[in-house]
Structures are given as C-alpha cells and as structure tokens.
Amino acid sequence: MRDYSTLKTELIPDLIKSSIPTPFYVVDEELLIRNLEILKNTAKRAGCKILLAQKAFSMFAIYPLISKYLDGTTASGLYEAKLGHDEFGGETHIFSAAYSEREFEEISHICGHVIFNSVAQWKKYRDIALSNGCECGLRINPEHSTQEGHAIYDPCSFGSRLGITYDNLKKAGDDILNGISGLHFHTLCEQNSDALEETVMAFEEKFGSYLYNMKWLNLGGGHHITRADYDIERLISVITRLKQKYGVEIYLEPGEAVVLNTGFLVSEVLDVTENGITNAIIDASAACHMPDVLEMPYRPEIIKDGKYAEEPEILPYTVRIGSATCLAGDVIGDYSFEKPLKIGDKLVFCDMALYSMVKNNTFNGMKLPSIAVRRLSRDVELIKEFGYDDFKMRLS
C-alpha cells in the first residue's frame, strides 16, 4: 500500500488545474476510502462499532460514502444530531455538557443514545429520555490525564467541567444508575492506543464494578487509528478484553481518524513583501480557515509544484506564510522552498478536512473557502460556494 505522501503529491496537479477559485477545501475520495477501510476492518476484528464524530467533520455531501463503512454519528448538540439523523442514518448518539430545555424534547426523539454530563442533568431529563425510548448514559471523568502540551483539549485537567468524577457518582448513590444503559469517557486527543490502554486501566480501577450492569461502554474519540504508526493490534486487544470481561458493547467515536490526511486547502499567493524576512500573503487565513493552526497549535504541511515545503533554511528560500487579514498573528508558519514564491503561485495545505470547515469564520469579511471533492475519476467537483450574503446574513 502506497503511503499518504505519495498519494497526496499525485493528486496535486488535479487540484491546481481546477477552475474553482481559491481558496477552497477539497476532500479526496481515494484517501478517504483508504481510511474508511482501515476503520471498518478494525471494527470487524474488534467486534465494536465506530461512529463519526461530527464535531470534527460535518461535510454531509459525502455522508452517503462514509455511511457504507461506519455505524452512525455522534453529536454535540441538536443541530449536529439532526444532521446525522437526516443525512447519515444508522445510530445517532449525542453528548452535551448541558442540554437546553428548549431543545431536549426534540433531541430525545432524534437520538437513540443520550449521554449526560452530570447527575443533575440526568435527573432533570431522565423521564423524558426514557419515555421516548433513549438509551441513556453518563459521561465519566477518570481523572487520569495522558496528554502533554494540549491542556485546552484535556478533559481530565484539574477543574474540568467534563464528566462525572468517582466521588460525585458515589455521592449520588447507587439508585442514580437506574435507567442508565452505558458509560462514556473521552480523554484522548490525537493519541495512540497505549494512551487508551492506560486510561482504561485507570477507569476500571474506579468504575469497573459498574460495568457489569451496563449494556455498552463508549470509549470516546481522540483515537488516531488511521495514522501510520497507530497500534491497531493493541486497540483490538483492549476492546476484546473489555467485551469479554464485562459483556458490554463497545463504541468508538473518532472524528479526526475518519478524515485524517484526506483534505486540502488550496490557496493563492497575493503578494510577497520584505521586512527582515520574506512574507508571502495568501488568500487563506489561519484565523478564519484553519483555526487549529493557532489553537492547537500545529504546522500544516504545504505542497507546491508537487513537492513538500521544508522547515526554514533547509531549502534555498525561506518564507513566512501569512494571511491578508489585519491580525498580526494570522501566520501559518515559516517554510522553505526550492524557488522564490511569486504572486499567483498556488499553495496546497494538507490535512485540512478535520476541524477546518466546522470551525471556519468570516473575520475581517474574509470569504469562506468553497468546498469540493476529488472523485475517484480524478474530477474535482464543486460542492458548495460561498459569497457576500454568507457573511452579511450572519450579522443582522
């Protein structure tokens, strides 16, 4: 099987010659199917179910393809739940840190599985959820962090608002579990299965006794299953042991792993300036179009003319890539290229399917990138284009 780097560089000419105006996102079907095959095979071998976490990726134009491989969707609120229910099918799960009274009745009709973040929320909505046939669960906080350097994404950090701790669950009494079908924890972020194994051990130490009376256990997301170095055998071993020991059905709900390395953002160089360093100004923005570059933070790969840009000073021409917005810190990073960048050059940013389209915005009146799919036929098909009204109508 060819690696992602080879596949990605091979498709670049099709993106560059596309008539779609920059900036635009594009998801490649061949790369996506590669991921989906890995996930489907993993689920089959482990005897578990895998859901699409829509918080990472909600491009429903390709839900018909993804739904052939995964078992359903998970949502963080009413609108995601409706999208998954209406466009994806299969199972519809939901977790929210708190539910609104205005929305919960509708949520309970849409979602087969509803997970509550606190004892108070469970008590408040228990009767509605059970009367509408929902399988209800509680999100647990194992209070065991395996992350380093990503505190903003760590649900086990001190004072976290996410999940019920052991002390709070015990304080509520055993009767609180009447009507509860499953438990859920989500503690990982872009991690391998060793972190999951460690977390499961911590979870079992505190909450394992509860699992004997449960129907299912949801291991949340953050599993980088489709990454080249991910230890799938360890994941399968962890899941198999849990199923055998407790007799529970296991769910995984990765978002990134579904579309990891499958998406791109194509942009154009608008200007090149000098101020001690060379700055290339592009028509895409970190703040608007790839916010995790600033929030995570991370440095996306760039492909130009079919070749990867390098770290600064590796190749002859080092350039700082920044946006046309007025935000001084709207910078993607420093890269080096074989040739100087010039106005009109196309730059292709990699791994732009996840947490990009779902988080983008129109700060500074920036145009939202169009959305496209590169089909197996190699045709680049425009799915959605945005304009002035998409900016204007959000504000009044």
336-374 burial: b if 16+ Cβ within 10 Å, else e: ebeeebeeebbbbbbbbbbbbbbebebbeebbbbbbbbb
Inform me whether the pLDDT recorded for 46 exceeds 80: yes
Cβ neighbours of 274 (radius 10 Å): 7
Q: What is the residue-averaged pLDDT of the chain?
A: 96
Q: What pLDDT sits at residue 154?
A: 85
The model carries a pTM of: 0.95
Q: Is the pLDDT score of 157 beyond 90?
A: no
In the prediction, which pLDDT does 2 show?
A: 60
In order of 73, 179, 183, 265, 308, the CA distances from 349 in angstroms are 27, 47, 38, 5, 10
Q: How many CB atoms lie within 10 A of CB 280?
A: 23
- 298-344 pLDDT tens trace: 899 999 999 999 999 999 999 999 999 999 999 999 999 999 999 99
pLDDT value at position 156?
85
Which of the four pLDDT bands, split at 50, 70 and 90, describes residue 15? very high
- pLDDT at position 7, please? 80
Share of the chain above pLDDT 70, in %: 99
Nearest to 290 by CA among 354, 333, 348, 334: 354
Average confidence (pLDDT) over 48-62: 98
pLDDT computed for residue 186 by the predictor: 95
Cα separation, 235 vs 6, in Å, equals: 27
- Of the candidates 239, 306, 357, 385, the one whose C-alpha atom is nearest the C-alpha of residue 17 is 306
Q: Quick one: CA torsion of 148, 150, 155, 156, rounded to 10 degrees?
A: 30
Ramachandran angles phi, psi of 346, nearest 5°: -100, 130
pLDDT value at position 216? 98
Quote the pLDDT of residue 149: 63
> CA 330 to CA 326: how far, in whole Å?
8
Among 7-21, 45-59, 330-344, 348-362, the least confident range:
7-21
Closest C-alpha among 323, 321, 322, 325 to residue 365: 325
**Sequence-ordered list of residues with C-beta below 8 angstroms from that of 248, at least 6 positions apart, any chain:** 182, 211, 214, 215, 216, 217, 242
| Tokens standing for residue 101 | 């009274």
Q: Which domains are seen in the chain, by residue range? A: 4-27+263-352+360-392 (2.40.37.10), 47-259 (3.20.20.10)
- Over residues 130-156, the pLDDT tens digits come to 999 999 999 999 998 888 766 778 888
Q: Range with the lowest mean pLDDT among 31-35, 93-97, 160-164, 384-388?
A: 160-164
Least confident piece of the model among 7-21, 48-62, 66-80, 208-222 = 7-21
Report whether pLDDT(1) > 70.
no
